[in-house]
Amino acid sequence: MIESNFDRRAKNKFKPKNTKLKAVCFIDDLNMPLKDEYGSQPPIELLRQWFDSGFWYDRQKVVKNFMCELQILAAMGKPGGGRAHITPRLVSKLHLINFTNPNEEQMKKIY
């Protein structure tokens, strides 16, 4: 899905379509992929590979595809009910912001 919004600018370099300065990819429920038998989550590992090296592989041609000017923004809920913990290897690559919505009792104390 991400590659469909990019144009080839050089041999293996892709930039956003319509000469946009930067593409922002929003991923909702980042921690939803099921863990496989080894405890990894392949979609999350693909993102981690891109964070580490700046590319992922084209599976047909087996070449590196560099996604330039791409920013990832993600959201997720707390683990439980089908959501898993994300790996510390991915957490180390992210800037995390955590907040909790106040319930009614907490709102009454504030106001």
pLDDT in tens, the chain (111 residues): 777 777 888 888 888 887 668 888 898 888 888 788 887 888 888 888 888 888 888 878 888 888 888 888 988 888 888 788 888 888 888 888 887 777 788 778 777
86: CATH: 3.40.50.300
In this structure, what token pair is assigned to residue 55? 């590319």
Candidates 50, 61, 67, 56; CA nearest to 7 is: 67
pLDDT number for residue 20 = 67
Q: How far apart are CA 40 and CA 75, in angstroms?
A: 19
Domain that residue 105 falls in: 3-110
Does the predicted TM-score (pTM) go above 0.75?
no
Domain count, the chain: 1
pLDDT of residue 97: 86
In this structure, the strands spanning 13-16 and 63-67 are: parallel
